[in-house]
Amino acid sequence: MRKLHEKSKITIQQSTSNPTEIILESISDGVFTVDSSWRITSFNRAAEEIMGIDREEAIGRLCSEVFRSSMCEVDCALRCTLETGIPIINRSAFIVDAGGRRIPISLSTALLRNERGQVIGGAETFRDLSLVEELRKELEGRFQAGDLVSRSTSMRRIFDVLPQVSASDSTVLIQGETGSGKELLARTLHNLSPRRNNPFVAINCGALPDTLLESELFGYKAGAFTGADKDKPGRFALAEGGTLFLDEIAEVSQALQIRLLRVLQERVYEPLGGTASVKANVRVIAATNRNLAAQVKKGAFRQDLYYRINVVRMDLPPLRKRKEDIPLLVEHFVSRFNRTQGKSIPGVSPQVMAFLMAHDYPGNIRELENIIEYAFVLCDQDRIELCHLPDEFIARDPLPSSAGEITTAIRTVEAQAIREALQRNRFNRLAAARELGMHKSTLFRKIKALGIILPEKDGRHRFEQ
């Protein structure tokens, strides 16, 4: 593969007189063209790398001999386009490369015309989806990606797009309340991305005064200001090849917003006191606990910068809107603190869980994490009990005074979570059980035990009508 890449570089240098060829050689999608007899007439660098076939070997051969796709024999996309004149966009398929490896792809087709508009063949572009497929398989059936854990429908939507967003290089805007896990999501995106072997650098833009934030982001040269004895690299330089996480982006001043806009537009910046521009190969993920669109309307945030960072937006729901995640998060934090503190605490008591489920968490996941960490300090062995929870937390909510009240509280929360899951799935019990992460027979048993009344027709009947 390396030889192919080096050879392709030489080919590009030799054919710099043709702008179209330069573009075709520079893109990451594979492209090949065929004439009217289905023989390959061109084969770009990315096609060589994806297929593992040298272009000299490919050109002149029948495309079915080289591009061994799952649809070649029965449903050739290029043949369909040549017969109907209608292009095909992003159809899923797989090909078998020279090494016999099965590669998932998305492909598009188009007619190839000469200068007089006559059809002289066809063109096919294809994109290697191996990484996306691997990430999707990794996330399938799981409610966890890195330290990100959930089983709620709202979070499930984020899990579903994680593979595609991670594999891309687009700027991401994460919006969510304080403590909802914005940096955790940013780290997960980085750890699942092709940049994962390079640095992840985070900076809280709201924690630093404007002048200090500027030097932190872009660095400075010796002599740029009093006390600048030597060059210092900024966060953009430290994140080179990796990901820069700009937390609390809404707090950045208008003057600094202009500098950030230039970096995102042109991918270059100048350190303080420097005269030469520095290229930035950094993926930017920004986050805020404010409604950034509303900030734009108020004139507090630049519209052009908003559109630059709002390429992909991910909204993190607050914990009070996904309480079904609390048991999963508690289990996750107990497991992590056992590992980091060398303890073997099995979990929390039912009374503690009832208390945790009844709270609204203005501090979101961070508040829940802090409660469990506090309990770990006081709890040496066995389960975490009410006596291990912070006093101010217990004082905030009414404490169930008897075992009966505690049991009632647990049943109420459990019934609420099941009813909401059933409603979201149009009372399809199998789908609701899948969403709740339990077997359908367990769900049936709980529905009966909790006295949950179901409609006469469940979600399956709508497909029968």
Tokens of 135: 């990430």
Nearest CA among 35, 69, 34 for reference residue 50: 69
DSSP 350-363: HHHHHHHHH---TT
Residues 6+ apart with CB under 8 A from 166: 135, 188, 189, 192, 193
CA angle 22, 23, 26 (to 5 degrees): 85
Q: What is the DSSP letter of 241?
A: T
Strand, coil or helix: 256: helix
Tell me which H or E stretch contains 410: helix 403-424
The beta strands (E) that lie in 256-355 are given as 268-269, 278-279, 283-288, 312-315
- Say if CB 51 and CB 17 are below 8 A apart: no
Stated pTM of the model = 0.60
Between CA 24 and CA 9 the distance in angstroms is: 12
Q: Residue 313 CB: number of other CB atoms within 10 A?
A: 12
Q: How far apart are CA 430 and CA 434, in angstroms?
A: 6
Which residues have a Cβ under 8 Å from the Cβ of 65 and sit 6 or more positions away? none
Query: What is the DSSP track for 133-174?
Result: HHHHHHHTT-SEETTEE--SHHHHHHHHHHHHHHHS---EEE
Q: Which amino acid is at 79?
A: R
Contact residues for 9 (Cβ-Cβ < 8 A; gap 6+): none
35 in helix, strand or coil? Answer: strand
Number of neighbours of residue 256 by Cβ within 10 angstroms: 18
Q: 268-269 and 278-279 as β-strands: parallel, antiparallel, unpaired?
A: antiparallel
Give phi and psi for 4, each to the nearest 5: -60, -45
pLDDT in tens, the chain (465 residues): 444 444 444 444 444 456 677 777 777 888 999 998 889 998 988 888 888 888 888 899 988 888 777 667 667 888 888 888 888 888 887 777 776 666 788 888 999 888 888 888 899 998 888 777 666 655 555 566 777 888 777 787 888 888 889 998 999 999 999 999 999 999 999 999 999 999 999 999 988 888 889 999 999 988 878 878 888 999 999 999 999 999 999 999 999 999 999 999 999 999 988 888 899 999 999 999 999 999 999 999 999 999 999 999 999 999 988 887 888 888 888 888 887 887 778 888 888 888 888 888 999 999 999 999 999 999 886 789 888 998 887 776 655 555 555 566 666 667 777 877 787 788 888 888 877 777 788 888 888 877 777 776 665 544 333
* C-alpha–C-alpha distance, residues 125 and 120, integer Å: 17
